Each structure stands twice: as C-alpha cells, then as structure tokens.
Structure 1
Amino acid sequence: MLNDLKNKRAKKSIHLRQYNERRVLQTLRRFGPSTKAEISRELNLTNAAMGSIVNSLEESKLVYFGEKIYEGGRGQPATMIHLNGSGVFSIGIQIDRSKIETILIDFDGNMTSRLKHEMVLPKPEEALDIVVKDLNSILELLDDNKKEKLAGIGIAIPFSLDSWTEVLNLPKDTFSLWKDFNFGKELEKKVNIPVYSENDGTSAAISALYFGVGKDINDFLYLYIGAAIGGGLVLNGEIVKGENNNAADVGSMPVPPSKLNSAKKPNSMFDIMLNRASINVLKKHLKHNGVEVDSKLALENIIMSNNLYFTQWLEDCVEALTHLIWTTTTLLDISTIVISSPVDGGFVDILKRKLDFSLSANAPESCIVPNVIKAKFASNAASIGAASLPIFYSFSPSTEILTNGV
C-alpha cells in the first residue's frame, strides 16, 4: 500500500514536471525570447523550479540561452531564453480528395521541404505507395542528428473520405475503398515512425492554435474552404474533438437552399454547407455556365478577374457562411473566426471582406460582430496542420497530462 502511494506521487510529480515544461515552451512561443524571471512571473513558478525546467529543456535542445540584458539596478545581467527552431522536426501529409502533399517543418513551423501531387485521390494502396516514396525522399535530406529530432508524422485527412462523391463529382468506386482503410496505421507499418492522424479541419485548426492566432486567442472557429469545407473548434486554448471525434463538421450543417442556377434542389427544406461553400461547388457553377476550369491556376485567374459567375457563387457562399458563423458564435459565445483555403489568387482576402460586411449587416440585436481573421498559413494550412500534429501532441500543455500522463 505504501509503495503504491509512493509510486502514484512519483508519477504525479513527473506529470506536473512535463506539464510545466510544456507551459514554458508555450510561453516562449507566445511572447518570444524571455528571461527566467519573466517566465516565472507569467507562469507563477518558483525561481528554483524555473531554473531546473529551463536547464532540462536546454539539455534536450528545445531552448537555447542567448544574449544577456540588464534589467535595471545592480547585479548580474539576465540571460534571454529562446525556442530552438532546429530542436524538433516533423513531417506532415495532407490527403485530400484532389491532392497528396508531404512537407517537413521545424519547431517554429517553418516549411523546409515539400512534395506535392495535384490529382484525384487514387486507391488507398496507390496513395500509400506515393506517400512512402515521398517520405523516403524527405528523410534522405535529414542527417542523423535531425532524424533523431523527428517528432513523428502527422496526417490530415477528411472525415468520411468516401462520402459526398456525387456532390463533389468524384469516382465512387475508388473512394468507397477508403471507408475502412486506416491510412495512418498502414503507413506506420511501412516506415516505423509514430503517426498521428486527424481530420483536415482539426489539423488546420491545430496549426492556428499552435503557430498562429492561438498564441493570443484561446477561443475560435476555424474554417477551411477546400474541395469540400472543413472546420475545427478551439475552446479554452484546447482543440475540441467531440464524442465522435468530428466536432466542427461544418460541411454537414443545415443551411437554406442555394439560389444559384447550377444548384440541385435539396430533398428537404434545408441544404448543407458543403453544397453552398466549397471550391467544388464553385467549379460546378462555373462549368454549368460554360466556364471550364482545368487547374488551380486557371481558377485563381478567374477569381482575380472578378468573373461574373465567381461573383454569383461568392455571394451565395457568403450568405451561407453568415448563417453558419452567427449560429456558431451565438451558441458558443466566441468572437473569432479564422479562415483559410488552398486556393490563392486573393480568394481568402476577398471572402474576408465580403464576410465582414455581411456579418455586420445581419447582426442580431445586441450581439458583438465576430472578428474574421485570415489564417497565418492560408493555402498551406492543412499540410502544416498535419505536420503540427506530432509537435502539438508532444509539446502542447494539455491538462490531460496531469491526469493521464500523455
């Protein structure tokens, strides 16, 4: 009994130490280089505890001691503590319905290598072969020292990848094979490196939480407008997954039917967001009106030219997003929306301006208009989100550490 009690106390002490180490790393990520005294005051840690934690992090090459500064008065100068960007590396793989992308990032979130395939997603085994080949190419770029610092592999993959094939005009026979295929598990068998997997919306939200607006904001809804539309939800500085691991499934949210001449009439009184606010719906509307789009660049040129049919779709999209955002923000009492898209050509900036106006014009009485922010990584959000997963789950100060020791 006594030994059990001692073991529990020892484990609790270890978990608390891990939690505080991660809090120190998060503080440096949020505020930049800081002194021990500044971090101690921010986290309410004793000088002794702070000194031990920083020394441990320095030994692990996660931080380094930089320049000395005089804080005023007499005594020894204080040393600035910096995050070590080369202390950790992580690989991210984005599996999308229309592309496969593999990247390498460092501890600061900087992309240092990238391999990309713009294509309709093939059968799972074929996609696995492509990814393994790309992974090996990236691993060859790392020396032994950097390989030792590899946190793992993250995968961003849409939830229910086999769904919406008719809506998105995709080959059902191919995508049905993805239903019961555990890509992360199969990849881990091939490469023998830890693999973390999340849906694309959650992954993109994690990139914002860890490297973007999450440095300053603890509550936000993340919207990723790609071939489909995905979302992620952050509350109290932690990602929300939900009972079925699919929180913020914004693509399935009921909204009023579209008014576009290309829109198919829904079977019920409501349509879903996927049919109102996704890039595939935009392509469908353009094609319906005689405008063919055969590449991402062609689509971006259409956006930059302010094409009539793009404008029609944009108005319809903004109307649906306004409905979604006001529903979400009033329900959860959050005031920040982060948006990103793999499509460039100024698309996110245009969408943000339209949303700002629409949200203000349609604000319920006494409600604060939510702030719409363009994601830091914008067109690379999902792939960097994937690469963020191993770093996030290894170094983020989740309160689960205190109870589960993870």
Structure 2
Amino acid sequence: MTGTSFFSVEKISDGRSGGTTQAESRVYNERLIVTLVRRHGQLAKADLTRLTGLAAQTITTLVNRAAESGLLLRREPLRGRLGQPSVPYSLNPEAAYSFGLKVDHRSADVALVNFVGDLVAFERIEFDYPTPGEVMGFAKGAVAKMCRKHKAISTERIAGLGIASPFHRGSLGEESGLTAGRLDAWKEIDIRAELDRAFDWPVFLHNDATVSAAAELMFGAGAACADFLYAYIGYFVGGGLVLDHHLFPGRNKLAGALGDVPVPAYGPENDRTQPLLRTASLRALAGKLNGHDDGRIWSSPDDWGDLGAPLAEWIDEVSDGLAYAARGAVALLDIDNVVIDGAIPAAVRKEIAKATRRKLARALVDRPEPFSVLEGSFGHLGPAIGGASIPLLVKYSNDKDLLFKE
C-alpha cells in the first residue's frame, strides 16, 4: 500500500545518531556546523565556537574537514575590525544535489536542486487524474533526461529522491478527490519502493505539505524562524510544523495537517464547523467559479488573470480559516510565525497573507514577541523543491532522527 515505506534503510549511510559514541558525535557535530552555516548564510570559526559551545580547536578541525570535502567554501576575509581578519565560510552550492518528485491531483513535477536549493532543472506533466504508472514513467524519464543534460554532476553527489505526495496514509479517504478505481490503484502500489528499485540513491516519501514546509525551513522564508506553522494551498490545503529549527512531522507523519482543522462553517449548513479544506483549497475556488476560469487555476499557477468577485470572496474565506487555525496553533504551541504558500499566483498569496495578518493582529497583540504572517518562497514549486530537500536533510542535517524515525 502506498505510503507504508518512507525510505530505504539499506541505502542510508551510518552516522545518523544524536551522538552517543565518539564516531557518532563527530558526524553529528559536522552536520551541526553545516546546519548552522545554512541557517545564517555564512559564519566564521569564532561564530561557530560561540554558537555551539565546542572548543575552538574542535571547530577548526570540523570546518577544515568540511571545506576539504567540498561542503563549505572559504570566503574573503572580513577586514576593518579589531584583531585578525575574520574568515567566513558558506555552503558550496555544488557540494550535493537532490531530486524532488511532486504528485498532486492534476500534475506531477520533477525538480533537481543543488545544496543551497537553487533550481537546476525542472520538468512538469499534467493529467486529468494521475495514475501510479503514469507518475512513475514520467519520473524515471525526467530524472534520466536531467542526468544526461547535467553530466558534470556525479552520482556520488546526488543525495537522493524525495517524493511529495498527498496519496498516502490518512489522505487516502473520501476527501482525496479521486474516484474509487483510481484510489484503489494508489492503495495497491508502494510508489516509493518501486522508484527505489530504479535508482542507486535512496528514495523517500512524505506528505506534500510536510515537505513543502521543509523547503521553507532549509531554503526559504522559514530559515530565520525558530518555529512556524506552514500552510500550503493546493488542490486541498495542507500544512507542516517547524519547532526549534527542526521539521516536526509527528508520530504518524501528519503533524500540521491543516486540512482537517475544524473552522466555522459558511452558509446555511446544519454543521457549525467544517474542515478547513472545504474552503481553503483550489477545489473550493473552482466550485465558486463554476467553470468560468477556463481551467486557469490548474494550468496557470503563476497568473490567473482577473477572476473577479469569486476570487475576492474565496480569499476572505481562506484568510478567515487560516486565522482561526493559527490562533489555535499559537495557543497550543506558542509559535510566533505562520508561513503561507501554495499553487497560487504571488499576488493572490500576498492578499491572503495580508488578510490573515489583519485578522490576527488584534487577537495576538499582547504576545511577548511580535507575531508574523510570512509569504512562502516557492509557490507551486514548493512540494517539488521540498521533496528534494528531504534527502539533503537526511544526509547533511543535525536533526536527531525526528523526521525519519520509524
């Protein structure tokens, strides 16, 4: 059944512990250095000594080793200060690469990104509704094409393939948007395991919104935030949760599942509440447009043109629902940020963020730290780039197995 296997243990190297032996401590500290440099952009050895509490000699050894292996780049010394010039280090964009495969109800994307999240190559295919066979055929062909085009990238520098998919575990229900026959096809196949057999590198599978949050954590607006709730507006609305600079997927890999959050219902329904996915989704917008958009909301995620009053009404309902869900998350988790993104034009995303910010301003005005509603960085590319971020998280981050513990 799809989604029952999240990664291949055999293809993941040793050294993923939080540091219980000397060798594991060394690996953990090396990843800690890389993670801190990623978070801050560039850091000198003195900065790393201060941030980690490790001995200066240890930091020197770790940084030199990372630079020699090509993970870090030595930058020009910073002059004009007291004492010796400070030499900062940054990530080497060419240190590693990763593939991401996004699957949704209407399309599939394959992205190739480098170590800092730059998009190196991208392929897309659209469906009426995807089948596992169509998605796997597209993924294999797109990866092969990208490898041929970028022959300078050696196999050793490819960290893996991450699949961002809504078709697994808890999302294979009545609200999946698939007919019974197509739903059965996704239930009967483990697409991760099938693709894992096709490639030499490890293949991972996670919820599409969860990995989109990972993209923001590693490469986007969330990089500077210790904690944030992430919302991705696509065919449905999904979410992810970051706590203390780490992606927190939850025991069932469904933490931050915003689509299931009950919010006040609109209209004359008997129910006083309804799941957020009923309003904050492209499916809900399509219902309001009743076909008058000519399919633009599915085929043109960067530009919808003028959709008039139905779009304005939808933005108001989306922001209402997100503000309601955010207030609950703030009360429960004490977070200070919400990041909003989706397969929507930048102008629409801006309006949703602005309306959500306005609706939260009075309710959260007394918090000790200012509350922020941020726009995401990747739009419709978020799940594919997020999928690509997962192998990089596994191989190079200091996350203590939170994301990948079975």
Say if 2:393 and 2:399, in contact at 8 Å, map to a contact too. no
Q: Which amino acid aligns with 1:148?
A: E
Q: For residues 46 and 14 of structure 1, do their structure 2 counterparts lie closer, same or farther at Cα, with a shift above 3 Å needed?
A: same
- Cα RMSD of the aligned pairs, angstroms, is 2.7
CA offset at residue 57 of structure 1? Answer: 0.8
Is 1:124 the counterpart of 2:128? The answer is no
Say if 1:107 and 1:391, in contact at 8 Å, map to a contact too. yes
Q: Which amino acid aligns with 1:163?
A: G
What corresponds to 2:8 in structure 1? none
Per-residue CA distance 1:177-207 (angstroms, 9 max, x = gap): 1124221111011223211211011101111
Per-residue CA distance 1:84-139 (angstroms, 9 max, x = gap): 11111111110111110001000110001000012234221222111111111112
Per-residue CA distance 1:43-77 (angstroms, 9 max, x = gap): 222221112111211222111223234464566x5
Per-residue CA distance 1:182-238 (angstroms, 9 max, x = gap): 211110112232112110111011111111234321111000000111100111121
Q: Which structure exhibits the higher relative contact order, with contacts defined as CA atoms closer than 8 Å and separated by 6 or more residues?
A: 2
Is 1:41 the counterpart of 2:50? The answer is yes
Say if 1:203 and 1:385, in contact at 8 Å, map to a contact too. yes
Q: Distance in 1 between matches of 2:301 and 2:114?
A: 29
Q: Which amino acid aligns with 1:61?
A: G
What corresponds to 1:109 in structure 2? 117
Q: For residues 73 and 292 of structure 1, do their structure 2 counterparts lie closer, same or farther at Cα, with a shift above 3 Å needed?
A: closer
CA offset at residue 367 of structure 1? Answer: 5.1
What corresponds to 2:220 in structure 1? 212
Identify the match of residue 278 of structure 1 among 277, 281, 299. Answer: 281
In the superposition, the TM-score normalised over structure 2's length comes to 0.86
Q: Which moved more, 1:235-244 or 1:25-34?
A: 25-34
Q: For residues 74 and 218 of structure 1, do their structure 2 counterparts lie closer, same or farther at Cα, with a shift above 3 Å needed?
A: closer
Q: For residues 113 and 298 of structure 1, do their structure 2 counterparts lie closer, same or farther at Cα, with a shift above 3 Å needed?
A: closer
Q: Distance in 1 between matches of 2:104 and 2:345?
A: 17
Q: Which amino acid aligns with 1:286?
A: L
1:180-195 maps to which residues of 2 (within 5 A)?
Answer: 180-195=188-203
Q: Distance in 2 between matches of 1:52 and 1:299?
A: 50
What corresponds to 2:383 in structure 1? 382
Say if 1:94 and 1:155, in contact at 8 Å, map to a contact too. yes
Q: Secondary structure at the match of 1:82?
A: strand
1:88-107 maps to which residues of 2 (within 5 A)?
Answer: 88-107=96-115
Say if 1:40 and 1:46, in contact at 8 Å, map to a contact too. yes
CA offset at residue 154 of structure 1? Answer: 0.8
Q: For residues 39 and 143 of structure 1, do their structure 2 counterparts lie closer, same or farther at Cα, with a shift above 3 Å needed?
A: same
Count of paired positions: 384
Q: For residues 259 and 175 of structure 1, do their structure 2 counterparts lie closer, same or farther at Cα, with a shift above 3 Å needed?
A: same
> Which segments of 5 or more consecutive residues in structure 2 lack a partner in the other structure?
1-16
Is 1:222 the counterpart of 2:230? The answer is yes
Say if 2:319 and 2:353, in contact at 8 Å, map to a contact too. no
Say if 1:161 and 1:178, in contact at 8 Å, map to a contact too. no
Say if 1:162 and 1:176, in contact at 8 Å, map to a contact too. no
Per-residue CA distance 1:241-296 (angstroms, 9 max, x = gap): 22222111111111222239xxxx47x54311110110111001110xx6243233
Larger radius of gyration: 1
CA offset at residue 384 of structure 1? Answer: 0.8
Say if 2:364 and 2:371, in contact at 8 Å, map to a contact too. no
Q: For residues 360 and 136 of structure 1, do their structure 2 counterparts lie closer, same or farther at Cα, with a shift above 3 Å needed?
A: same
Q: Secondary structure at the match of 1:153?
A: strand
